[in-house]
Structure 1
Amino acid sequence: MDRIRIIGGNPLNGTIPISGAKNAALPLMIAGLLTPETLILDNVPRLADVAQLQRILGNHGVDITAVGKRVGDGKYQGQTLQISAADIIDTTAPYELVSRMRASFWVIAPLLARMHAAKVSLPGGCAIGTRPVDLLIMALEKLGAEIAIDGGYVVAKAHGGLRGGHIDFPKVTVGGTHVALMAATLAKGTTLITNAACEPEVSDLAECLIKMGARITGAGTARIEVEGIDRLHGARHTVLPDRIEAGTYAIATAMTGGDVQLEGARAELLQSALDVLKEAGAEISVNADGIRVRRNGNGIRPVQVATAPFPGFPTDLQAQLMALMVRAQGSSAITETIFENRFMHVQELARFGARISLDGETARIEGISTLRGAPVMATDLRASVSLVIAGLAAEGETMVNRVYHLDRGFERLEEKLKACGAAIERISD
């Protein structure tokens, strides 16, 4: 199993190209099930989750062709996927595929909308709380689906097709909004989605669906209206840049010091995180090529932050910010409001010498001046990169184990950091 070895202490200087967003690419790929015509997606990141979803879609009979430059061939660009679901041969998504990635459960929406039937295993993915699918099921039921749970599978039917309805989410759910949007595009009549997620990845999916012929208004707000149509057609769409990757490298730069240009990053996608980094002492400037992050020899200032749905501080940057606050000059507090059980990185950060105490949903961090390298274990995708950030600033050697979590969400992590001066390498046993 691969490990990542880091010798800490080097500031980061240079340019890091920001990949396409994993959290946008996955629902966009799934949307390819909605049409028998070809959907072309540009700027798709090369990630383990993307490859896994390709296998899941292939199980349904989807033909996917990947084209574009290979990694390392000149200037970075993501891959282009040509997704053709002309013939859906199977409406079952089996446990052995879905159990590895939670987002794959979302295939239930286009399968139900287009084929009027779906049988999808209850999902797996990162073990950060229960993250139940009850809101996704509720959304489909509001559109007339008949749903039963049988042997660990969600069995859904829509006799005569889905019908428009009013989906009012009791709490903001990105996955639920993705599912509602996709299902509603082919439903008969008008669907109103209220308390919808406003995340940029939801807007990106809606933009692609509109290119495919869908009639959607209000995406990016809490109130989305969808007028169903009989058939969607093919389209070409570019995946938006990954705001979580951009925020992660911005935090890494603040942690180590230095000067890094985040090429292709869009400030409006992560403004709340950039504001927090400014408060912590980083210099942030937006330019035509992306976002520039700098921190000179000045210390890191403590902050008080609570995660929140977009446009608030993203839960997917909480672990990375906590790593940064370990070296702040004073006491910080980070409150997690989105997912329970998302503080599993705390015990691993403690191996660097971090002083963190937990009080319910809040982590209190007493900053220290020096971190010591240590062997650590990744527990989930975002937690694992927080350990890399700590290792970049720690004295001596850090060995990050179970890095398959990183490969699910960060493309060419070691290569991008090494190009900016980090002493980091992957070790394959």
Structure 2
Amino acid sequence: MRLMYRYTLAALMLTNASMANAAMFVDYVHVAGAQCIGTSINDSGQAVGNCLLPSASANNVPWVATAPGGSLQPLAALVSGQPCRVGGITNSGWIVGDCSDASNIEFSVIWSTSNPGTTPTKLNPLPRTLLFPLLRPADVQTHAITLSQQGAVLAQSISASGNQTVVLYIPGSGTPIRISTFGDNCAGIDVNSTLIYGYPSLLMNCLGTNAKPVPTVATRGVSGYNLNVLPVPTDASYCLAAGMNDQSQIVGTCVFPDSDDHVPQTAFWATPSSLPKLLTLPLNAKNQGIAINNAGHILARRGDSTGIPQNLFWGDPKDSFGIRPIVPLPGSITTKAVDFAHNDTIVLTCENSAQYTTACTWTPDEGTQALAPINGGLKSQLTSISPTGKFVVGGTTDTAQNINAAAATLF
């Protein structure tokens, strides 16, 4: 599943779309606040997001809606009067976000769509240890990275000194399962939805010699998780992992010593034990892997002679001939990928010929299409697409320049 917390209400910018998709925005009923935006949506059309109340001092209000255009139902706080924010929702109805406790210490939490008004489950940090390691104090905070469609949460457990450990929470549980070594500062990247001995596989970037990244996969064995370092080309300085699909295919980027001549390249690992296939582009253009879907197709980014990055769709990672650029709207030169569905639909932030941004989608068949603003507004943004590509969510403005959470059905 996608990473969370990439978008805020302040990120919306003026837009003036030059073309329109057949899909149309539908705004939600404002019960949770005056300024609202959606952050995630599942294949049932259930969405989550955050609202700001018409107050200079009130807390953010996280919400869930059961269908596009439905009423926003506020999610309960961990502690009454303390702030929360929501990031993601799964097809199984689990919701993840962050809340502050009574001491204003932030912890990740989970809610359920079946009981959105119930106090969320706190994702507890790692407890203290007595022997292994000796007298290690308990960690003090947690931060969710992403979650599987079953609701397993990949997170960081954070110590009082700021050192982090990758942990996993099974669906509905607030008890951490330690994945990486205590305080090793590995960074959780992705979790898939294929279960091995009842548990998903995880992707991390750990630290090696001289703090160089070491991409690592954690796979469940009979008695616990086994960590395996991804193979790296012999001439690479290092590789970074960016995403993993349900077949445990992995995308990332490999970096080489002479980067002017041997540029960074998108890397595709067909299995966690195979050497990566590298993406070679004309003009020796540098490129980076961003995401991979369950079809094994890749979203990447390349350098351009203008100095402006361009997103790419890599439909067949076995060779470099199927590369397709994500073409901007007419009269524009930029797009930015936001999210990537399993049916190859890409959610974009576009820029038109007047240099305003607007919500867009891209597909291999239809190319780049803009979603027209609604309610007389001129601002729009997409933040998420459901896994199958059926629904998108984000926000638009109205004639009064209020930000309205909005969704669209693509098929």
Q: TM-score, normalised by structure 2?
A: 0.27
Q: TM-score, normalised by structure 1?
A: 0.27
Q: Comparing both chains, which one has the higher relative contact order based on Cα–Cα distances under 8 Å and sequence gaps of 6 or more?
A: 1
